[in-house]
Amino acid sequence: MPVKKHKDIDLGRSLKSFFELPDWQERTLFIGGLFVGLMLLYVLFLVTMFIPLIGIIASCCFLVMFPLVSMAVNFYVDGYRTELTDALVAGKTADSVRVSGNYQERIITGFKLGVSNLIYNIPLILLYVVGYVMLIAPVFAVSIGSAANDELSGLAMLTLLSTTLMFYVFILIGWFWQIVQMYLIYPVMFIFFRKERSIRDALRVRKMVSFVRNNYMNVLIYSLVMLGIALLFGMAMMVSVLLVFLCIGIIIAPVVFAVGTTYTIHLQADMLAQMERNSR
């Protein structure tokens, strides 16, 4: 039986599609503005916390409201990305999806996607927790050993050195898993989640493995491109932040962040839609 050959992602189209939209500036202003607004809110908190009395009240409100607002923004953007992918898979254009609207539906979709993503991040969380426990716990052993006798003190110090080494091993493994999860597992999980907005579908590991096996080239292209974009975006942000000291960065940094974030969202949607269509 002949093996079905899948088409590769049209990378050139994906990279330039966002800037071909007639309203890409408006989309950047809205999506990027949400995240820039969060950063400004955080800066406002840092400023007001030093004001007597008012700072205490502001800090309490911030600690309660900021995580909720931040999650709502991220869930909304994830829902927007999902709707973009829906349209592109159906053969429509990205400008057929409004950048604002469907707030409740998009936030709910983003919440479900976030839960699915969190499940795949459980190994990462466990690695970091165990790593930090191994780093902190021996400190108490050293203090107790040094108070007892030299033999116990030496044993405690050896334990501290061993667990410190293990801490860095766990952190390195966690970093590697995070890269794999972000650039390999997440896109495939997203494709399975998108169809029915189902957390259960996002956890079909066997089907996901089969999908990767049959579409490994497109998955690899997506992973490398998104990793490259993340590195370029990070370097651009570093330069923009450094320019803050020259004052011009105060304007450039938010613009770079807003454009880069919105561009990345559209690039993900376009590449994921192509990956799904080409797998049929």
Q: Determine the residue type at 265.
A: I
Positive or negative torsion for Cα 20, 229, 273, 31? negative
Least Cα distance to 146 among 158, 164, 134 occurs for 158
What's the rounded Cα separation, in Å, for the pair 270 and 279?
A: 14
pLDDT category of residue 98 using cuts at 50, 70 and 90: very high
The H-or-E segment that residue 183 falls in is: none
Identify the three-state secondary structure at position 14: helix
Residue 113 domain flag: no
Residue 175 in any domain: the answer is yes
Assess if residue 275 is contained within a domain.
no
Q: What is the pLDDT of residue 263?
A: 95
Does residue 76 lie within any of the structural domains?
no
Secondary structure of residue 91 in the 3-state scheme: coil
* Cβ contact 190:272 at 8 Å: yes
Q: What is the pLDDT of residues 40-72, one digit of tens each?
A: 888 777 777 777 777 777 777 777 788 899 999
- Which domain covers residue 128, as residue numbers? 121-205
**Pairwise CA distance, residues 200 & 249, whole Å:** 45
Question: How far is residue 170's CA from residue 163's CA, in Å, rounded to a whole number?
Answer: 10
Confidence of residue 2 (pLDDT cuts 50, 70, 90): very low
Q: How many domains does the chain have?
A: 1
What's the whole-number average pLDDT of the chain? 85
Q: Does 140 fall in a domain?
A: yes
Question: For residue 158, is pLDDT > 90?
Answer: no
Which value, to the nearest 10 degrees, does the dihedral of the CA atoms of residues 131, 124, 40, 81 take?
170
State how far the Cα of 162 lies from the Cα of 160, in Å rounded to an integer.
5
Can you tell me the distance from the alpha carbon of 35 to that of 226, in angstroms, rounded to the nearest whole number? 20
Please tell me the predicted confidence (pLDDT) of residue 198: 92
Distance CA 242, CA 211 (A): 43
* Contacts for 9 with CB less than 8 Å, ≥ 6 apart: 218, 221, 222, 271, 274, 275, 278
| Per-range mean pLDDT, top range of 110-119, 173-182, 246-255 | 110-119
Q: Locate tokens 């999902």: which residue?
A: 82
Mean pLDDT over 96-102 rounds to 92
Rounded mean pLDDT, 205-222: 93
pTM of the model: 0.85
In a domain, 132, yes or no: yes
Whether 91 is in a domain gets the answer: no
Determine the Cα–Cα distance for residues 269 and 190; give it in Å rounded to an integer: 10
In a domain, 181, yes or no: yes
